Structure 1
């Protein structure tokens, strides 16, 4: 045993309170995972940048990277089109203030540094512009907590016990669906009972659902159980356990396709089985730019002829701090309001203030996003020889004041998305679809065909 211990890696694992048990490599006292090498020897894998590889091993690694076969298989799919929904850095020429990062993704740290590098007067001017814009364009966000009768089997836990049930998620899913029904994008079938497949096909107006950022797919599971949807497309780039797929595949005559692909690269019109089919698009908590990618995927390249028809859309937005100028769907909207690209990036970082407090704290729900108050006296204190850092001002702000600013930024970003959807010919609105106590990320972007009649139940 002692001899065996001498051949083991000497890297200490504090969480396990022991040394690594892997064998050493060569003359090193560490294993391959913990061998001490300088950072400049490591480069991102060209196949999957989420992990790095030694530059000297790059040629061999590319040939045997675990994701190589997956990438090759995806590239062969007709619906794969690299970057089709990514957006472009257009609008930079209208941004006279330049950019902190003209190319690539701007990290949260870069956004924070951009904001903290402002002078106090510049920071307060940005806050004033946010308050002015919010007061003009975000005045009609209604509360629409809508739990439809059709979803009672889930709400009352009258479902297969093998299916995972968390009340907060079920209520969110049901309200998303209820809002789609309310705008006429969904119609209930009379004979839907439980999870049975015997459904009276009275209306073929909506035959399919496309769920973006589907995860395990239980929002779609509820749609299938309660509304008789016959075709299901789950778009998700990651692999998940305990998916709804197993339960869905047991349903007779249900077409189920899980598209393991980044939304950025999905050409929805090239999904052959969806040609000529009417569908609704849904997404529960589509993080950051995923909302913008999904909107482009559904609306910016719709053809006549063989393409599918979007009947309704419901996307619950979240994680606005991850939004990027390149991906954002309505840059013109921001530039016309007088915001620069860098100010947009600063606003995305400010959105984290809306939900950075403990959800169990006594911070009240922000329902009336009024002005956060005058700051003339504070600005006068700045003086020529005594610049106060923005970081210090932020640290002294009250939690509610920070939350108000964060929510305003989130709603302005979502209002721009709503405006873009309207330009595509759909009726669109923003609603608060779930109480703040269930989730502070409670904004739902709704859209539907203007002439779509309300369902007859």
Structure 2
């Protein structure tokens, strides 16, 4: 792959003559006939007297000044019309998070009260998780394919275990809509579809706020199942307004692989609050008119009756989400506030629990100034996934606690912080009428973020599949 000295200083034949300093190579775009530079770098053409300026919507690319107005109408960075399922901040939660005073922050760290709270809480809660490392036949061929490298193999093992847990919960079946939050390329939905085979009346909704390259959706064209992408932030997603769900009324199964931080809380609220409540309202029938006196007499009975009618059905058939990045959680969006408040904690403690949670994956890194060897760095890179990158010294808190806690102590406290945050999510789901559990779904050698959150409605609330 190493080019000769002669070719390194000249563009490839038929390619742009602009040298990209950041990539240390020539631009590979094809210029117009008779030109040496492509349209992006045309301002370097000696014969070209047209001026190119940065696009006001996105300065990362340029545009001819005399074509600016035309470009603004079709620029990919322009503000697009909001889809029908966009409802501003519908899943955001309450915005009453308190600011954390700097003096209070330093006091918490210096006195060590925070560590005592972590250890005290962990002693009173069952935070030791069971292993549910499963697999699924749908991925066996890919798992045995020697063409897959180590990174691909790790992802396949995780996806296989997620599908195995879904099968154990009887969530792989016809008449369902699978909503993958933080879908990315859509690989998890891809394998769910393969596992389902030729079942009827299945829909996939892939929720991703960013545009994604190399999507696998195209592999499923012409199949009975339907893949649809929803390019929207989970914070603003109202599932009840998605046309296909309005039309088919399918029970929903929420899934996700490594749904980062606050995105998990947004997804949970999207499923069990905004979607469920909207569906319950749709199923409610208007009460017959009655006199004010009669209304007063039966008010208590009616109130109880309404509660039973809204709780006798759950449009969400199940939730299976692999958790990660607890350091990116946010008190504003967090669904487990009631649990934290019940044990005497608030936004200040949550702020530091979320920060210390990063020690579970970064705590094993020594805080001394001694440089690691290249061999150590290589091993660390191989074991670290995209969501497990090293945080800054300030974020991990290592600069504040250097020499106070050992590596193992930091790791233990980080894991406890993760489990406490997750416990709040479990209690939230239980209060919403779900049987929720946490389990290790893969080995830590495969992924340091190896905890799976599952939830299914209580037996009396399980929705019937639509066939």
Short-chain TM bin: 0.5 to 0.7
User: For residues 259 and 420 of structure 2, what CA distance do their matches in structure 1 show?
Assistant: 17
1:328 pairs with 2:347:
no
Aligned position for 1:117? 106
1:360 pairs with 2:329:
no
Aligned position for 2:203? 231
SS in 2 for 1:234: strand
Does the 8 A contact of 2:336 with 2:421 survive in 1? no
1:71 pairs with 2:80:
yes
User: For residues 116 and 353 of structure 2, what CA distance do their matches in structure 1 show?
Assistant: 12
Shift of 1:121: 4.4
User: For residues 396 and 17 of structure 1, what CA distance do their matches in structure 2 show?
Assistant: 48
| TM norm structure 2 | 0.66
Does the 8 A contact of 1:210 with 1:279 survive in 2? yes
User: For residues 23 and 288 of structure 1, what CA distance do their matches in structure 2 show?
Assistant: 44
Pick the structure with greater CA Rg.
2
Aligned length: 357
Shift of 1:354: 1.2
Q: Which moved more, 1:165-174 or 1:353-362?
A: 353-362
Does the 8 A contact of 2:181 with 2:206 survive in 1? yes
1:175 pairs with 2:161:
yes
Does the 8 A contact of 2:441 with 2:451 survive in 1? yes
Shift of 1:136: 2.0
Q: Which of these residues, 300, 308, 312, is aligned with residue 273 of structure 2?
A: 300
1:397 pairs with 2:389:
no
Shift of 1:330: 1.9
Aligned position for 2:92? 86
Unaligned runs of 5+ in 1: 1-11, 25-30, 34-44, 52-59, 93-97, 102-112, 188-203, 365-388
C-alpha RMSD over aligned residues = 4.2
User: For residues 408 and 255 of structure 2, what CA distance do their matches in structure 1 show?
Assistant: 32
Aligned position for 1:214? 183
User: For residues 235 and 352 of structure 2, what CA distance do their matches in structure 1 show?
Assistant: 24
Shift of 1:15: 6.6
Aligned position for 1:244? 216
User: For residues 340 and 433 of structure 1, what CA distance do their matches in structure 2 show?
Assistant: 30
Q: How does 1:151-162 map to 2 (within 5 A)?
A: 151-157=139-145
| TM norm structure 1 | 0.67
Aligned position for 2:370? none
Q: Which runs of 4+ in 1 moved over 6 A?
A: 60-63, 113-116
Aligned position for 2:152? 166
Larger relative contact order, structure 1 or 2 (CA cutoff 8 Å, min sep 6): 1
User: For residues 378 and 271 of structure 2, what CA distance do their matches in structure 1 show?
Assistant: 34
User: For residues 88 and 205 of structure 2, what CA distance do their matches in structure 1 show?
Assistant: 19
